[in-house]
Every structure is written in C-alpha cells, then in structure tokens.
A and B are shown apart, each in its own frame.
Chain A
Amino acid sequence: MSPRREQGLVRPYVVTNGRSEPSRNTFDLVTLVSGVPDRPLQGLTPEQRRLVALVSRGSLSLAEVAAHLRLPVSVTKVLLGDLVDSGHVLTRAAIPRAQLPASQLLQEVLDGLRARL
C-alpha cells in the first residue's frame, strides 16, 4: 500500500535501480497485463508491489498500468519485464497469434462499434 504518491520525489532511476532496458522488448502500449495469484511479494520494490497489486484483480493494458502507477511507460516496461521474469505477472500480446485475418478483425471492431449505437 502506498500513500498518495508524491510526484517527483522518488526519481525513476531509483525505481528501476538505474536500469533502462526492460528484460524483454515485446511490450507495447496495449500489451495486456494480468496478475498471478498468491506469489510472495518479498524482495519486490514498492513500485513492483503496487504493480502486482494493481493487476491482482484483473487485466489492464500496459498504458493503463503506467497511468495508474503514474510512471512513464518506459519505466513501467522495466518493472513489468522483471515481474514477468519472476512470475508475478503475465502479459499477453494485444493481438494473439493465430489471429483471424485483418479484415475479419476490422469487421469485429466495426460490429462492436455499430452495436453501441
């Protein structure tokens, strides 16, 4: 748990311990992030704990995770890479493998939008 986060107090290099390179380069703004239940939190930094806590109840896109944590996307990616490595979170590519052809995906988008009218 954290108090209302004070912006700019803890600088990003302390958050990542000086690292700028995520352990994997597959993350995108709409990479879907979800938590793995019942993983011990020892050894996690406060921000990593917050990230794990955030996605412990459901999935969010990376953009949403960064926004909720109020961290730059690039910094969030570094934290996320570590947490995927340690098995605390799972990520899913925005568009899974074996996705239907582009036209079909677009059609699905169109149907979804039309259904809202």
Chain B
Amino acid sequence: MSQIPQAVPWCLGAGLLPALLGLVRQWRLARDRATALAWLEAAVRARDEEAHRLATVRLPALMHSAVAHPAPIDPLLAGTGFEQSLRQVADQFGSAVERAELRADQNAKAALKGAMRALQGLANEQQVAISEMQERHDHPAVLRDLLEIDHTNSQFGRRAQAIAVLCGSWPGRQRSASSLSDVVRGAKSRVRDYKRIEIRTQVELAVTSRAVEPVVLAVAELLDNAARHSQPNTLVEVNLQPAHHGACIVIDDAGVGMDPREVELAGQLLGGQRSVDVTRLGDPPQFGFAVIGVLAARYGFSVSVDTRSPYGGVRAVLFLPTELLTQITPEPEPEARITTDGTLDPAPLPEPSPEQARAPRHRATPHHHSDPHQPDGPHRADVHQQAGVQGQAGVQEPAARTVGPRTAGGLPKRRRREPLPESALGQETAADPAGRSPGDLVRDAEATAQRLGAFARGTRAGRAPEPDTHS
C-alpha cells in the first residue's frame, strides 16, 4: 500500500510537468499573441491614422497644390502593401485634382475669353460710335459728356482686354507704328486718373505696329497701378529714355511703395515665372502684373518694379528692345502737290490772282471723276458719305414718300415748307456753339427775312466777337 502513496507524487509530478510546460507554452503563446496583438493594434492604429491623415491632411493639401510631396510615413507601414495603396490613392487623387483644376481653368478661361471678346467688341464698337459723335457734335457741353463716356468706355475696354489676355487671347488690334509718346498717351487714355499722369520727355522713337497695342496695354496697367497706389494729389511721372539696345518707359509714383514680399511676387508675375489661375483672381480681381507678364513674354519686352522711385513710391521700368522700335516715318501724303498760294501745282505762284485762281483744276485723280453714270451704284467718291450719312444720325436715307401725289410725268411731288417757329428750334439753338440766342437762328416767320438772318448771322459771327488779330 505504501508504494501507492509514494507513487502519487511521481504521478503528480509526471502529470504536472507537461501541464507546466503547457502552461509555459500557453503563457508564451499568450505573450506572443499579446505582442502580436499589440503590434497588430499598433499597425491598425497606424493605418487608421495614416488613412485619417490622408483624408484630412494630405488630400486637402493636394487639392491646393496638386503636387504630391511624399509624406513621411509611419515606419510600421514602410514597405507594406497598405503604404503602396495609400500612395496610389494619393497619386490618383493628385492627378485627378490636377486634371480637374486644369479643366476648370480651361473652362473658366474659355468662358471668360468668349465673354471678354464679346465685351471688347462692344467697347470697340462703342468707341467708333463715340468718335463719330465727337465729330458730329460741335458744342462744348456735348463734347464734355462725350469725353466722359469715351473715357469710361476706354477703361472698360482695357479691363475686358486684360482679362482676355490672361485667358490666352492676344490684344490683336491692328495699329500702325506709333511714336513712343503716343503709345504712352494711348495708355494714359485708358486709365481712370489720367489727368495725374504727366509725360515729361519726348524721344523721336516709335513702336512697331505689332507691338503698339500690347505695349499700350502693359503701360496702361502700370500707370493704373501707379495712380491707384498713390495719393490723388500726387503726380505719376513718365519719362521716355533711349537706352542701350532699346528704349525705356520709366514710370514713377509717389505712393507707399511695395514691401519686399510684394516686390518678389510682382517680379515672379512680371517675369512670367508664376502663372495666374483665372479662377482665383480675387475680389477685386488683381491681375495687372500677371497681364503684363504674359504680354512681355509674348512680345519680347520686359518690365521691372524693383526700384524705388525718387518720390518714395514705385519706379516701374518697361524696356523695349530695338526689335520693337522703329523710326518715326512721315505721314504719307496722297499727292506731292505742294502749294502755298491756293493754286494748284505744278506751277505754284506766289500770290493768287483771280486769273491764277481760275486756272484749270488739275484734279485728275479718278476718285473725283468717278463715273456717276452707273445705273444704281453710288459715286465712288460718295461711298464714304454713305457711312457719314448713316453715322450722322444713325438714319438711313429716307425711302419714304414713294407713294403720294405725282406729276403727270410720274415724279413724286413735294409740299413746300414754312419756316419753323422759333420755339421748334429752341433746343437746337440752345446748343449753338457761339452762344447765339435761339432767335438768331430763326428770327422771323418770313422766309426772306430769315434768309437775310442767315446771312447776317454769318457776318455777325464773323465781325463781332473776334477782333482782327491779324496784322
């Protein structure tokens, strides 16, 4: 029996050992599992974090820059498929953003360009109309209004043109070569505060035909900038200087100037190193330097704004290389017929006598002898008049009175008019340039007396107000 109790520990021992071993194994296993679990947990957390970072940091960053800079990744995930997948997501997202932005920019540009072209067309059309009105209306009050409208229209046209340029359009307006000072004055014409702009110097140089419009536009943006960023009571001074291999347009303002960061940004835009996204022009839109940069790169001139003006503000310098310059050419005269005496060459005489004055007119140009006998065609020489007539009042030649009384031979019949009463002309005469009273224009109801009135007005206008300043 005693053997049995002895055997018990053994048995127990033999039984415990494996159990212990098992326990140890279990413990190890558990420990390993815990480690693995911890690792897995960490890995999952890392993936979570990475995914979160992707969603909240990296992709938003990509949306703004569209350039995927490789983000530092948790070492746990280095080399994993997960990391690769993340990178793929980021890359694909990045290129999708890029494509979308490009498309958005292109769409915006295309839409804006179309709209701006239409506006430019209208501004040009309006300018023609305004010019016609300026020709037609010879009264200071009317002229004053027309000048204002003209000025506003010019600024409007410039704005449309500048945005069109940013959208990839070119200021393709055909101009003939123009003197440098006319180019600057053309630019001045398009700026709100034009009266503050003073052109100090003259140079005998002209800008080539192709470069006129782009240079005018670039200078206009510079002048506008200068005027906008300086006090209204200060002048913007423009100097024209011949330079080595070209010429400079130097614009000085007395404004606050720009800080180094602004200068740097401006330099990038002017140098064309930085492009402008038309979908992010800002409000109010700021694109002057960007427009200049685009034009400068395209047409081969350069602009810098990194100098301080002697007046404390910005000095902008637009450099035109020789290729964009030309000599001033005289205005071509249609005929080299030069007289001082009112008679016609080829035998000019010092003083016209009635005899000389009645010398045959050598007006041999076909223009003046155009055949008036074409059945329906107008005189060639009158072709201009057509536009003139239409322009005069925007009224077509009246085609009226085709019906009505006729003579025996079929001619349409007119009824003689009576002179208008004074009042009917009140408005017209109120605008009389010489300030004559309405009564002067139509004085009496009687036609004959009026005729005399017309004559008297002429002589009165001639005699009264102007002293004989000559001789």
**Which A residues are within 8 Å of any B CB, using their own CB?**
1-6, 8-14, 16-18, 20-22, 24-28, 31-32, 34, 46, 57-58, 72-75, 77, 84, 90-99, 102, 111-112, 115-117
Contacts and interface: CB of A to CB of B under 8 A. Distances in A.
B139 interface: yes
Interface residues of B, number: 63
A13 to B, nearest CB: 4
B466 A4 contact: no
B134 A12 contact: yes
Contact of B470 (A1, A10, A92): A92
A94 B252 CA distance: 47
Contacts of B143: 12, 20, 72, 74-75
Given A18-B195, A92-B469, A102-B459, A9 B178 contact: yes
B159 interface: no
A19 to B, nearest CB: 8
A93 B463 contact: yes
Interface stretch (B146-154, B294-302, B304-312): B146-154
B384 to A, nearest CB: 13
Given A13-B189, A111-B354, 10 more contacts: A2-B328, A4-B332, A9-B183, A9-B212, A12-B147, A13-B147, A25-B465, A57-B340, A72-B135, A93-B462
Contact of B134 (A27, A46, A74, A94): A74
A26 B433 CA distance: 8
A115 B468 CA distance: 29
Given A58-B340, A99-B459, A112-B354, A3 B178 contact: yes
B469 A6 contact: no
B204 A1 contact: yes
Contacts of B206: 3
A10 B179 CA distance: 11
Q: Which 9 A-B pairs have the closest CB atoms?
A: A95-B462, A20-B144, A26-B465, A11-B189, A20-B143, A9-B186, A116-B358, A13-B147, A93-B466
A85 to B, nearest CB: 12
Given A3-B331, A13-B147, A21-B144, A72 B134 contact: yes
Main secondary structure of the interface of B (DSSP, over half): helix
A95 B329 CA distance: 38
Given A2-B179, A5-B331, A9-B186, A94 B462 contact: yes
B264 interface: no
Contacts of B355: 115
Given A11-B154, A28-B434, A102-B455, A4 B176 contact: yes
A25 B465 CA distance: 8
B288 to A, nearest CB: 20
B240 to A, nearest CB: 12
Interface in B77-103: none
Contact of B186 (A10, A32, A74, A98): A10
Interface string B235-275: 00000000000000000000000000000000000000000
A34 B470 contact: yes
Nearest to B434: A25
B340 A96 contact: no
A21 B140 contact: yes
Contact of A90 (B148, B179, B458, B469): B469
